[in-house]
Amino acid sequence: MARAMPTQRRVAYTALAWIIALLIFFPILWTILTSFKTEAVAIADPPVFLNFEWTLENYRIVQERSDYMRYLWNSIAIALGSTALGLIIAVPAAWSMAFVPGKRTKDILLWMLSTKMLPAVGVLYPIRLILIELGLLDTKFALIFILTLINLPIIVWMLYTYFREIPGEILEAARMDGAGLRAEILYVLTPMAIPGIASTVLLNIILAWNEAFWTLTLTTVNAAPLTAFIASYSSPEGLFYAKLSAASTMAIAPILIMGWFSQKQLVRGLTFGAVK
Amino acid sequence: MSRNTVLRASSALALCIVAASATAQDTITIATVNNGDMIRMQGLTEVFNEAHPDITVEWVTLEENVLRQNVTTDIAQGGGQYDVITIGTYEVPIWGERGWLLSLNDLGDDYNIDDLLPAIRGGLTVDGNLYASPFYGESSMVMYRTDLMEAAGLEMPDAPSWEFIREAAIAMTDREAGVYGVCLRGKPGWGENMAFLTAMSNSFGARWFDEDWTPQFDSEAWSDTLTFYLDLLEQAGPPGAANNGFNENLALFQQGNCGMWIDATVAASFVTNPDDSEVADSIGFALAPDNGLGPRGNWLWAWSLAVPASSDAPEAAMTFIEWATGPGYAEIVADREGWANVPPGTRTSLYENPAYLEAAPFAQMTLDSILSADPTSPTVDPVPYTGVQFVAIPEFAGLATEVGQIFSSALAGQMSAEDALAQAQDLATEEMDAAGY
Amino acid sequence: MATQHSRSAARIMMAPAVFLLLVWMLVPLCMTLWFSLLDYRPMRGTFDCCEGFANYVRFATSSAFQDAILTTLIMVGGILLITVIGGIFLALLLDQPIWGQGVVRILVIAPFFVMPTVAALVWKNMFMNPVNGLLAHLWEFFGAAPVSWLTEAPLFSIIVIVAWMWLPFATLILLTAIQSLDSEQLEAAEMDGAGPLSRFGYIILPHMARAITVVILIQTIFLLSIFAEIFVTTGGGFGTRTLTYLVYQRVIESQNVGLGSAGGILAVILANFIAIFLMRIVGKNLDK
């Protein structure tokens, strides 16, 4: 929308947008700032904004108590693993739904979404029993598998809506030229689908990273990701705001940084068919 | 399950063959609460490993509610995720009876089982079997600010009455200055506000159930308890009291926001520690209040270490428990952090140790409080259950948490005391009927 | 159009996803269904067949059940209201040619990356705490008595926390929708003398209708299963017990697996009612 706009109005809009953006971002900023304070400064009245003595003490204490790298590695492995597995299963499904739609396609799609309605709490008991039987409790494999299944409907739907926007004529043309099914996918579709896939990947990583029910109930040590890490810092005895902030910053920093760097890609495909 | 056993056995066998010459390395997973004393224990893992290099220790340190959820589910399902678990006086008899815990009767001579305080040991023993070893024991007592008490022109007796507490709380309150006369637990939960209220109700002569297991929330005594509690906090409590549990009140007290705080004796070492507490040098202690009926409003609890029957390294687990709850542990902590930081309330010998008595001004009051609680006869009238601030039946945790939510809503001003009690009575009656009492 | 060959290929390509989701749905569901018919209380050592529908009757007739449904609807509805209206407003604003648009967008989407547990902990302790929270200091600064958010306005507080996390998602999708709007159409309307309000009401809003339904559908799916935010802030107290949380209390806190499983099945049925209703709307929209 490249319309000309009076400077005055532009200034007003800019100011308003910045104020709102800073308000929305403030809780995160405040958490990061607090993580560099001492416990006493963290609860100072009136609150201290920037003029305090910065310290890394909280990060040292947190690192000493829990091995951050292990939790981080588990989070990364689970998020990437479930995304990769999900993609392998979802891309073919979404492709066939988008380009070879049958009578039932829409029903299947909606049914898939409805599986997400299964309340996790209600099926915790059976799932945990199954994992115990299989000896898979507290393994990254089990968590990857479960998170894949949880997010699969969203991935399929997101890819499906994206694929549908690829004009059918291009495929027709490719077929006229005698391209086989494989060539059709490899040389025609894939390049066009990459932005949608990239966006799906990013969304799935975020969802898997932040999943806080299964990751907490199905792990103890070997597969415990950052959600479990944070659970050991919520309301301990004594003053804890600064330590909680440090642990929180450590838990969200990786995904926040990834999200910021890739936000253009994320946004591009994040339409769910909302735009024609 | 059998396939699991076969799998486990065969992998163990394979390990033996591979590592025939190397020493066997046991790994134990310890689940514990993120309380100060436990975090200190985690920090001392190296010391344990100096004595036992063949045991690798993995820590799962979680917030209390998350820990309880995970441990309870795992033990009920026989998941075998943990080798040592941290549980309390409420769980031990129930889980022990179910056969979910291993007996600790055969810990070595160094453990000196007869040194354990009888009241604490009794609560962890079922049919002569010790199912958990106490890590620290606690009762509850009054902690108060001597400076504020003096400014109010009052003097705290060693054994105050509830009426005195009310009078003092109102006199100490200065909302403008952010000083509230009394901080009490209000956060819903069977181990939070209901622990406090149940203990308090004993001193008012109330009980959860009569001898036929009929809920008693419609009794005069419960009505008195709840009304007194709500009035007291309204007149002299901090804002948002309905969301304050042990940790929140500790923070408030340490910052100087509370005149009095009636809570776990274990808090005494935190509030008198000048590193964490701004009011460390002006703190006094008194027994929990009473109403002249006999019982005082104090509870009895012990955070204890136990070995689940599903553990795959029970011997290493017991070795750890022997180390962490044996008499030697106190000296390790005293060497490094001073006697005041030793986990209290489990052993007679600690209260006969002059070094400890000197370093811990709260020692005698803690011991007196623990000794004055009687789990078998907690209140005035006879009851069919054991437990001071809990009822040792499996239904209690769920039921008391819901009752706690109702009482907490009353504290938040969402309903009256009568409505809260009536709802609690209905809920308890329904729950007990369904459970087959 | 499609050949027989590609049709059968399509079926094969779809099979893994369908099969896995079918197993994922049916196995736990059947086990839950089975548990819901039992007197299954591990703490009592009972695993007795068959209670019939006793668990269902008990769960559905308790007053907690009706309250929980109402709480769930208010919570989900409140969050949707805030995120959709706020999202439309923000999307319109971000669509303007403002300076530093890139940075503004980065700041606005940040909450979406925050774990629910972390968000709830930070809001609860550092903002909503009535003594040490920032909001309390802010209120005191203006001479007002600090509000104890989580006890005096518990449902509202949780709605704010969750809405804060989902606002970026709604904003992004709605922003994409606005940006796809043909600007010539708007200019033509402006020349015809249509004011900003009528331009918004007659052109922009209808254009966004589809995006709004998508936002509502996806968020509802996630919001119906809110758990960590309640667990951390109020533990289900003060009238914030949703259906999901009630099931949690029965299964985990009371360890009454039979009763809780019955509640779980009821929750699935109710959730699917809502889902079918919503997907009808979206399904229609997708066909357009």
Closest of B387, B379, B375 to residue B205, by C-alpha: B379
CB-closest option in C126, C181, C286 to A30:
C126
Chain B residues touching residue A129 (CB < 8 angstroms): 77
Chain B residues touching residue C44 (CB < 8 angstroms): 394, 435
Rounded Cα–Cα distance for residues B388 and C35 (Å): 34
Split at pLDDT 50, 70, 90, the class of B323 is very high
Helices (H) and strands (E) in chain B, counts: 18, 10
Q: What is the pLDDT along chain A (276 residues), one digit of tens a residue?
A: 445 678 888 999 999 999 999 999 999 999 999 999 998 888 887 888 888 899 999 999 999 888 899 999 999 999 999 999 999 999 889 988 888 888 888 888 888 888 887 788 888 999 999 999 999 999 999 999 999 999 999 999 889 888 888 877 777 777 777 767 777 777 777 788 888 899 999 999 999 999 989 999 999 999 999 999 998 887 777 778 999 999 999 999 999 999 888 888 888 777 777 665
Choose the mutation target among A60, A64, A131, A235 for the interface with B, i.e. most B CBs under 10 Å. A235
* A230 plus A249 within the same structural domain: yes
Under an 8 A CB cutoff, do C255 and B394 touch?
yes
Range(s) of the domain holding residue A136? 68-269
Look at residue B21 in the predicted model and tell me its pLDDT. Answer: 36
Instruction: Report the pLDDT averaged over residues B358-371.
Output: 93
Tell me which architecture the domain covering B140-299+382-435 has in CATH.
Answer: 3-Layer(aba) Sandwich (3.40)
Chain C residues touching residue B188 (CB < 8 angstroms): 234-238
Look at residue B8 in the predicted model and tell me its pLDDT. Answer: 52
Under an 8 A CB cutoff, do B58 and A221 touch?
yes
First to last CA, chain A: 17
* Domain parsing of chain B, residue ranges: 18-131+301-359, 140-299+382-435
CB-closest option in C64, C150, C253 to B401:
C253
Distances (CA, A) of C78 to C83, C117, C155, C218, C230: 9, 20, 9, 15, 15
| Residue with more model confidence, C49 or B120 | B120
CB-closest option in A65, A129, A237 to B42:
A65
* A52 plus A75 within the same structural domain: no
Q: Reduce the DSSP state of residue B421 to 3 states and report it.
A: helix
Residue B325 scores a pLDDT above 90: yes
> For C169, which residue in chain A has the nearest alpha carbon?
A270
Rounded Cα–Cα distance for residues C188 and B185 (Å): 65
* A84 plus A25 within the same structural domain: no
**CB–CB of B162/B203 below 8 Å?**
yes
Amino acid in the structure at residue B417 = A
Chain C residues touching residue B430 (CB < 8 angstroms): 62
CATH number at residue A164: 1.10.3720.10
Rounded Cα–Cα distance for residues B89 and B136 (Å): 11
Under an 8 A CB cutoff, do C115 and A97 touch?
no
* A109 plus A237 within the same structural domain: yes
CB-closest option in B73, B413, B434 to C252:
B73
Under an 8 A CB cutoff, do C148 and B239 touch?
yes
> Neighbouring chains of B at 3+ CB pairs within 8 Å?
A, C
Closest of A215, A231, A197 to residue A142, by C-alpha: A215
CB-closest option in B242, B252, B430 to C131:
B252
Closest of B62, B274, C126 to residue A246, by C-alpha: C126
Under an 8 A CB cutoff, do B404 and C237 touch?
yes
Under an 8 A CB cutoff, do A273 and C227 touch?
no
* A129 plus A262 within the same structural domain: yes
Instruction: Report the pLDDT averaged over residues B121-149.
Output: 95
**A1 domain-assigned:** no
Split at pLDDT 50, 70, 90, the class of B120 is very high
Helix ranges restricted to H, B158-308: 162-172, 193-203, 220-236, 246-254, 268-271
Tokens of C158: 């949780």
Q: State which fold the C58-287 domain adopts.
A: MetI-like fold (1.10.3720)
Under an 8 A CB cutoff, do B398 and C150 touch?
no
Under an 8 A CB cutoff, do A115 and C25 touch?
yes
What's the pLDDT tens digit per position in A61-87? 999 888 899 999 999 999 999 999 999
The pLDDT mean for chain B works out to 91
Look at residue C285 in the predicted model and tell me its pLDDT. Answer: 62
What's the pLDDT tens digit per position in B375-419? 989 999 999 999 999 999 999 999 999 999 999 999 999 999 999
**CB–CB of A228/A247 below 8 Å?**
no
Amino acid in the structure at residue B121 = R
Chain B residues touching residue C58 (CB < 8 angstroms): 434
Look at residue C283 in the predicted model and tell me its pLDDT. Answer: 65
Number of domains in chain A: 2
* A232 plus A146 within the same structural domain: yes
CB-closest option in C14, C119, C271 to A97:
C14
Choose the mutation target among C58, C59, C131 for the interface with B, i.e. most B CBs under 10 Å. C131
First to last CA, chain C: 20
What's the pLDDT tens digit per position in B11-55? 444 444 444 334 467 899 999 998 889 999 999 999 999 999 999
Residue C260 scores a pLDDT above 60: yes
Instruction: Report the pLDDT averaged over residues B235-254.
Output: 91
Look at residue A274 in the predicted model and tell me its pLDDT. Answer: 67
Tokens of C130: 């009535």
CB-closest option in B73, B240, B395 to C151:
B240
Rounded Cα–Cα distance for residues B344 and B355 (Å): 14
Q: What is the DSSP letter of C46?
A: E
Is the CATH number of domain B18-131+301-359 3.30.450.20? no
Under an 8 A CB cutoff, do B245 and A125 touch?
no
Under an 8 A CB cutoff, do B239 and C132 touch?
no
Instruction: Report the pLDDT averaged over residues B206-219.
Output: 96
* Closest CA–CA distance from residue B268 to any residue of chain A (Å): 12
**A147 domain-assigned:** yes
**A275 domain-assigned:** no
Chain B residues touching residue A135 (CB < 8 angstroms): 4, 7
In DSSP terms, which residues pair with B55 in a beta bridge?
B26
